[in-house]
Amino acid sequence: MAGHRAQWKGHLKIGDLSCAVGLYTAASTSDRISFNMINESTGNRLKREFIDSETEEVVERDQQVKGFETDNGDYIMIDPDEVAAVIPDSDKMLEAEAFVPCGKIDDVYFDKPYYLVPVDDADHEAFTSIRDALSKTSATAIARTVLFRRMRTVLIRAHGKGIIATTLNYDYEVRTSKEAFKDVAKVKVEAEMLDLAKHIIGTKKGDFDPAKFEDRYEDALAALVKAKAEGKTLPKPKPIKVSKPNDLLKALQESAGMEKSSAKKPKAANANSGKKATASKSTKSRAKPAKKKAS
């Protein structure tokens, strides 16, 4: 635990039992490849600056305030203290309000994961009791608290020797799958086709370790840049052939036959077998300066 700093410290409470805990960031986000913005006519790099939309004068940070737009297009300034006053004081208590079976959680609400860890030795007994009760009942606890200046709902779930707390997105930030898929045509799939597809799936079953995945984009981009710099014509993407409804059965039959004979052979398309060089390069690329954020 040395070297890690808790993002939040407080108490985890279920029923009458509570223990002091810390939340630690479980995942960070690395940046995509950032390009430099260039002035095409001079070849110089671009810089971003903030200007007044009417007077066009440069506005320094200390002259920038928050505001919102009224219906008639005017702007009203808002005092940060007024916004702060809306945020309730935190009681630093993650108290379980309800429990939901693990399988019943709608995961599209997931935001960010945190490792939840007991703070003192004295808290271990309460912590392990909560952890094992959650895992024995296959339940997740729903708790709410003020976290990072917002009232956040947190999903608490036992994970190995510890507990993972996931912040959840708000109702207005998520479109439910039911709504998203309500206009999808209901298609009656022929049993023969379904059996063939199931067979194909059977030949492709395996394990997957997300930690070993490698991003091949950087290498592909470097090749493209090289070709362009050398004045070569860039390859046109090949047209993609879509399976027509009339050919679908045939495509499935051929796939099923083909997969049967080649199921044992390693596939060239499996990029996890990429060279070592790719690994170090892509790590380096992600260490590049962060992409510029528009404000």
Contact status: 201 vs another protein (CB under 8 A): yes
Quick check: 210 binds another protein (CB under 8 A)? yes
Is 269 near another protein (CB under 8 A)?
A: yes
Between 66 and 92, CB nearer to another protein: 66
Site for another protein, residues 96 to 115, rule: CB under 8 A: 96-101, 103-110, 113, 115
Q: Give me the least distance between CB of 264 and another protein, in Å please.
A: 14
**Closest by alpha carbon to 111, among 154, 165, 167?**
167
134 near another protein, rule: CB under 8 A: yes
Residue of 178, 264, 265, 276 interacting with another protein (CB under 8 A) = 178
The values of phi and psi at residue 20, to 5°, are -75, 130
| DSSP class of 32 | P
Short-list 173, 20, 185, CA closest to 8: 20
Q: Is 283 in the site for another protein (CB under 8 A)?
A: yes
CA distance 116 to 163: 5
How far is it, in rounded angstroms, from Cα 109 to Cα 167? 9
What distance in Å separates the CA atoms of residue 185 and residue 37, rounded to the nearest whole number?
Answer: 43
Tokens 């779930």: give the residue.
157
Q: Taking the complex as a whole, how short is the minimal distance between the CB of residue 9 and another protein, in angstroms?
A: 14
Return the residues of window 225-254 that contact another protein according to CB under 8 A: 225, 228-229, 234-237, 240-245, 248, 251-252, 254
- Under the binding rule (CB under 8 A), the answer on residue 122 touching another protein is no
Which listed residue (12, 21, 94, 126) binds another protein by CB under 8 A? Answer: 126
How many whole angstroms separate alpha carbon 129 and alpha carbon 118?
12
Q: Which helix (H) or strand (E) holds 10?
A: strand 8-14
Determine the size of the site formed for another protein (CB under 8 A): 174
Angle at 120 between CA 119 and CA 126, to 5 degrees: 90
Q: Site for another protein (CB under 8 A): which residue of 9, 198, 275, 284?
A: 198
**Residue 139 φ/ψ, nearest 5 degrees:** -115, 155
| Binder of another protein out of 11, 20, 119, 142 (CB under 8 A) | 142
Binding positions for another protein, 9-28, rule CB under 8 A = 14-15, 17, 24-28
* 290 counts as binding another protein under rule CB under 8 A: no
